[in-house]
């Protein structure tokens, strides 16, 4: 037999797998082996076993080591599918599904044997020790070993879990509403579903019941959440209900914790994995359900290569599991568009449940919908008032100012951090820009710095213009830092700021949210982070400042993002018995996304948005593939992008947009091509071929290529 091994290198040039002889240790698909490769040694993943090879026997080498932990075969398949689907390489895709490095922590554990104590001569201390068993042997190892020698005690190593620290959450036993009942039943029949329910309508309770049903059938569950730090409540509720069978997989875990949680899933000791997008690769056994909480959240898209979308991968994984169960081959299809019904004798095919108060148009279009139409306890959604900011010259509308003065607890959203957006010289008009990127530098007053929000470049705040020498430097616009300072001055409640700057330190976010939750009064000011799933029942006011800022992005998702942001922020207000209201400041009061959000009208917004996308031929009516060519020189990326545009145009049913210049980023000039595809597989194949060809040409040797299928 031969092991087909995919070496884990980052280069695009190496197309494996390569054949190796079988080592002495047993290997199978998913085994991780150390292989000699040219003059070096590399780790590789066994992706197949074969009966024969073209490699002559004397040239066939043997792996030098086999790692104790392996990747489940199902995840090897998934990775190879991802490599194709996202125009990446098998090695890069496989690196996403590898077990974390580490090994179990063991301790010596002492137990009483069945040997009788009659006639044994024991000291009082020895009797005491025997009564205290079972226990860890550390500390008393010598004494225990002597008892072991007499056959009274057995000592053996056992693994000890390094459990992640979590916030416990109280669990409530509730009676499901009719709509919740129907949703849980539908999920139990398998297939993919969208759970649309306004904030506080009981979606999490549906996830919990659907998970319980899966466990009862002996199946495992994956629960994807946007960001653990911002959604501790969901995690806490799963742990409260299911205890140690929940494994937590997030990036802030220590190495040992991460390893133990992975292994508990791999061995089947834990049956539910909860985590952010990468938890879609959790080695859960007999997967029966994947839940995607807040499915509209942009964090589900991975921005490294492969640029996968956890929602799409989740659907593919569920589809493959269903096929495997049906006795077929585990192929991954265009999953979110496929629906299955179970065979009558085995009604439980794996299920996918994507939930949100503000679903993406794609999901709305693709999946059958389960609806929770009102908040639990019929608590009304807060009324939303739009404040027209055209012609205003202060960041806060007088009415918002008044409302903030009266509210005891409020949340204010401004999706822009820093003090002011840009600095200009009043005398000569110079704008301070990043030397690496073609964007304005943002003032961060507390740090006495101006900073680039794209590359992190920082410099000292200029005292005078370095162009004309004028000391008159103007600051334009307001960010969260400035609003925080102004409001702290104006209001007599404590002001808390939550944005990427205050969230940088480890555990800063839970600490800050905890302080705000416990404060009898206060204002939480921040970027989109304040609009995530928080549940503060005593917040009675929500304010959105510059609601159209996200609309100005040159991106077909600008509408969808704006709608979700406002509707989600509105969902944070009025969750308690005292009710609440929301004020939305905007210079575009008639924009459909803003008007619909003010009415909490997700169906209306999505219907209009789908119509617009159909007219413009955007997803879900076409697939997009974005190729970005970049280099330190201006001309090469333009030339490379031109070649790719021409080559991709031959793909069946594809329209090519560009090449178009993008702003310079991190010192690199960029040129972009977007392919609109109606035959996704053909377009991906054409783009892959075009990029491979261009990348291998000498004149493009300084150009870097990045391919993004389904860009966000
Ligand atoms: P969502 O996830 O849609 O925001 P949750 O599931 O968190 O909503 O529910 C909001 C609150 O209502 C929670 O405190 C939850 O315990 C409670 N809840 C959910 N379903 C019910 C029900 N059927 N009866 C009573 N309370 C419920
Ligand atoms: Zn000047
Ligand atoms: Zn920069």
**For residue 429, how many other CB atoms are within 10 A of its CB?**
10
Instruction: Looking at the CA of residue 533, tell me the nearest atom of ligand 1.
Output: 4
**Mean pLDDT score across all residues of the chain:** 89
**Closest residue by CA, ligand 1 atom 10:** 200
Query: Does residue 328 or residue 185 have the better pLDDT?
Result: 185
Protein residue with least CA distance to atom 20, ligand 1: 202
Q: Is the pLDDT of residue 71 over 70?
A: yes
Mean pLDDT on 24-36: 91
Total-model pTM: 0.89
Ligand 1 nearest atom to the CA of residue 233, by list position: 7
**How confident is the model over 230-274, as pLDDT tens digits?**
777 888 899 999 999 999 998 778 888 899 999 999 999 999 999
Rg of the chain (C-alpha set): 29
Q: pLDDT at residue 568 above 60?
A: yes
What pLDDT band is residue 338 in, cutting at 50, 70 and 90?
very low
Mean pLDDT on 593-608: 94
Closest atom of ligand 1 to 207 CA is 6
For residue range 624-639, list pLDDT tens digits in order: 999 999 999 999 999 9
Identify which of 204, 359, 371, 536 to mutate to test ligand 1's pocket (most ligand atoms within 8 A of the CB).
204
- Taking the C-alpha atoms of 117, 118, 122 and 127 in order, what is their torsion angle to the nearest 10 degrees? 50
Q: How does pLDDT run across 134-176, given as a tens digit for each residue?
A: 888 888 888 899 989 988 899 988 887 777 766 667 778 899 9
- The per-residue pLDDT for range 382-403, each reduced to its tens digit, is 999 999 999 888 889 999 999 9
Checking if the pLDDT of 421 tops 90, the result is no
Q: Under a CB-based contact definition with an 8 Å cutoff, are residues 267 and 202 in contact?
A: no
Q: Which residues line ligand 1 (CB under 6 A)?
A: 172, 174-177, 180, 197, 199-205, 376
Q: How far is CA 447 from CA 414, 442, 458, 656, in A?
A: 20, 12, 10, 45
Both tokens of 105, joined, read 């922590």
Regarding predicted confidence, which is higher, 207 or 16?
207
CA nearest ligand 1 atom 18, residue: 202
Nearest ligand, measured from the Cα of 432:
2
Tell me the best of 356, 373, 376, 573 to mutate to test the pocket of ligand 1, counting ligand atoms within 8 Å of each CB and taking the most: 376
- Give residue 202 CA to ligand 1 midpoint distance, Å: 4
Q: 180 near 209, Cβ under 8 Å?
A: yes
Among 39-53, 344-358, 461-475, the least confident range: 344-358
Report helix, strand or coil for 484: helix
Average pLDDT of the segment spanning 66-83 = 94
pLDDT at 345 over 50: no
Q: What pLDDT is recorded for position 343?
A: 39
Distance, in Å, from the CA atom of 640 to the CA atom of 623, rounded to the nearest integer, reads 22
pLDDT of 12 higher than 70: no
Give nearest CA residue, ligand 1 atom 19: 202
Give me the sheet containing 106-112, strands edge to edge: 135-136, 106-112, 153-159
Q: What is the pLDDT of residues 96-140, one digit of tens each?
A: 999 998 887 888 888 988 878 787 888 888 888 888 888 888 888
Using CA positions, which residue lies closest to atom 9 of ligand 1? 202
Query: 532 C-alpha vs ligand 3 centroid, how far in Å?
Result: 28
pLDDT value of position 337? 36
- Nearby residues of 659 by Cβ (< 8 Å), 6 or more positions away: 629, 638, 641, 642, 644, 645, 671, 672, 673
């Amino acid at each position: 037999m031969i092991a087909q091994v995919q070496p884990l290198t980052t280069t695009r040039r190496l197309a494996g797998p390569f054949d190796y002889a079988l080592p002495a240790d047993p290997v199978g698909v998913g085994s991780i082996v150390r292989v000699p490769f040219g003059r070096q040694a590399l780790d590789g993943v066994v992706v197949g076993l074969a009966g024969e090879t073209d490699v002559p026997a004397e040239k066939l080498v043997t792996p030098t080591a086999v790692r104790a932990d392996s990747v489940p075969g199902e995840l090897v398949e998934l990775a190879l599918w991802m490599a194709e689907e996202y125009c990446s390489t098998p090695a890069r895709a496989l690196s996403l599904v590898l077990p974390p490095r580490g090994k179990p922590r063991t301790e010596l554990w002492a137990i009483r044997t069945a040997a009788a104590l009659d006639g044994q001569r024991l000291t009082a201390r020895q009797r005491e020790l025997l009564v205290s068993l079972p226990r860890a042997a550390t500390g008393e190892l010598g004494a225990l070993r002597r008892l072991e020698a007499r056959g009274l005690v057995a000592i053996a190593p056992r693994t000890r879990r390094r459990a992640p620290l979590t916030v416990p959450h109280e669990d409530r036993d509730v009676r499901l509403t009719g709509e919740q009942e129907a949703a849980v039943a539908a999920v139990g029949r398998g297939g993919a579903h969208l759970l649309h329910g306004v904030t506080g309508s009981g979606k999490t309770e549906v996830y919990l019941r659907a998970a319980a049903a899966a466990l009862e059938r002996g199946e495992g569950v994956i629960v994807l959440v946007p960001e653990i730090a911002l959604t501790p409540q969901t995690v806490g509720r799963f742990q409260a209900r299911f205890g140690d069978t929940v494994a937590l997989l997030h990036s802030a875990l220590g190495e040992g914790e991460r390893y133990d949680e992975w292994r508990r899933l791999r061995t089947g000791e834990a049956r539910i994995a909860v985590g952010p997008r990468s938890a879609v690769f959790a080695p859960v056994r007999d997967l029966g359900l994947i839940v995607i909480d807040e499915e509209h959240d942009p964090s589900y898209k991975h921005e490294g290569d492969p640029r996968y979308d956890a929602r799409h991968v989740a659907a593919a994984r569920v589809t493959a599991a269903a096929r495997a169960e049906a006795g077929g081959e585990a192929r991954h299809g265009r999953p979110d568009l496929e629906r299955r019904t179970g065979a009558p004798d085995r009604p439980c095919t794996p299920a996918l449940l994507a939930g949100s108060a503000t679903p993406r148009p794609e999901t709305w279009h693709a999946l059958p919908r389960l609806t929770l139409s009102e908040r639990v306890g019929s608590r009304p959604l807060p009324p939303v008032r739009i404040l027209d900011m055209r012609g205003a010259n202060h960041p806060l509308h007088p009415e918002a100012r008044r409302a903030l003065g009266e509210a005891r607890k409020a949340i204010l959203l401004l999706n822009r951090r820093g003090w002011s957006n840009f600095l200009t010289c009043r005398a000569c008009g110079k704008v301070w820009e990043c030397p690496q990127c073609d964007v304005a530098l943002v003032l961060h007053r507390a740090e006495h710095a101006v900073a680039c929000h794209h590359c992190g470049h920082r410099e000292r705040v200029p005292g005078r213009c370095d162009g004309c020498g004028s000391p008159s430097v103007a600051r334009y616009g307001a960010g969260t830092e400035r609003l925080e300072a102004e409001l702290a001055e104006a209001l007599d409640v404590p002001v808390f700021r939550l944005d990427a700057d205050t969230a940088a330190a480890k555990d800063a976010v839970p600490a800050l949210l905890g302080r705000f939750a416990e404060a009898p009064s206060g204002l939480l000011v921040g970027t989109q982070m304040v609009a995530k799933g928080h549940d503060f029942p005593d917040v009675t006011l929500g304010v959105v400042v510059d609601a159209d800022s996200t609309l100005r992005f040159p991106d077909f998702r600008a509408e969808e993002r704006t709608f979700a942001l406002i509707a989600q922020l509105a969902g944070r207000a009025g969750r308690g018995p005292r009710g609440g209201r929301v004020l939305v400041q905007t210079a575009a009061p008639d924009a459909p996304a803003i008007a619909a959000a003010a009415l909490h009208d997700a169906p209306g917004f999505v219907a209009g948005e789908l119509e617009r996308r159909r007219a413009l031929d955007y997803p879900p009516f076409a697939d997009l593939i974005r190729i970005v060519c970049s280099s330190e020189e201006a001309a090469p990326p333009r030339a490379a992008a031109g070649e790719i545009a021409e080559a991709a145009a031959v793909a069946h049913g594809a329209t090519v947009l560009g090449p178009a210049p993008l702003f310079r980023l991190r010192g690199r000039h960029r040129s972009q091509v977007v392919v609109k595809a109606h035959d996704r597989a053909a377009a991906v194949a054409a783009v892959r071929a075009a990029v491979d060809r261009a990348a291998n040409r000498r004149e493009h040797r300084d150009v870097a290529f990045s391919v993004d299928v389904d860009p966000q």
